[in-house]
Amino acid sequence: MAQRTRTQRYAGRAIERVLSVAGDAGLRREYRARALSFPAMVLQSGLAQAVGFLRAKSGDDAAYRCYLRHLAEVHGTANGNALHEAIIAAPLPAYRRLTQELLEAAALIKRYAQAEIKDEPEPGAAP
């Protein structure tokens, strides 16, 4: 079987997951907002803070929960909790590697979310 690059693997997983949300009217708007904002959060606050924040918000917010699960799955980790625990326990070289990989995964999710999920106005706002 032909080798696929890491980017190709991530991209294949990312588009599947974004398309699974694109048809969910109750979830897609907030999911898109999470997808667009997460890469900047990693750059500003660091990977540990950013993923920890997603995990803390996942308790009562479906969009955060879904986005964290997708991020982990695109990266190839079992779930969001396992991803967060690996980040917290990582020594510096591994942490930097994880940051690079997750930024790549998050950037792909962001681009597909921009392409596949239309920007919708806030509820109650004038169209």
Partner 1 sequence: MIVLTRQTLHALVDAEATRHGRPNPGLLLRRGMVAMSPAGQAGAAGDTAGRQKEKVIGKVVDLPCSPEYAAAYARWRRAVGDDARFSRTELEVDGRLYIGLVRDNPLETGVAVNHTYGMPLIPGSSIKGVVRAAAMRWLKDRADANAFLFGRGGEGPDETEAGGVVFHDAWWVPEGEGKPFVPEVVTPHHRDYYNLGSAHATDFDDPVPAPQIAVRGRFLFVVEGEGGWRELAMRLLTLALTECGVGGKTTSGYGRFRQVDRQA
Binding stretches for partner 1 (CB under 8 A): 26, 30, 37-38, 40-41, 44-46, 48-49, 52-53, 55-61, 84, 87-92, 95, 122-124
Between 7 and 49, CB nearer to partner 1? 49
Q: How far is the CB of 46 from partner 1 (least distance, A)?
A: 6
Nearest to 114 by CA among 47, 33, 54: 33
Q: Classify residue 18 by burial, with Cβ atoms within 10 Å: 0-12, 13-18, 19+.
A: buried
Distances (CA, A) of 77 to 26, 47, 69, 123: 26, 15, 9, 34
Between 16 and 120, CB nearer to partner 1? 120
Between 2 and 92, CB nearer to partner 1? 92
Between 15 and 86, CB nearer to partner 1? 86
Q: How far is the CB of 37 from partner 1 (least distance, A)?
A: 5
Q: How far is the CB of 53 from partner 1 (least distance, A)?
A: 4
Q: How far is the CB of 86 from partner 1 (least distance, A)?
A: 11
Could you tell me if 86 and 77 are in contact, meaning their C-beta atoms sit under 8 angstroms apart? yes
CA distance 15 to 46: 25
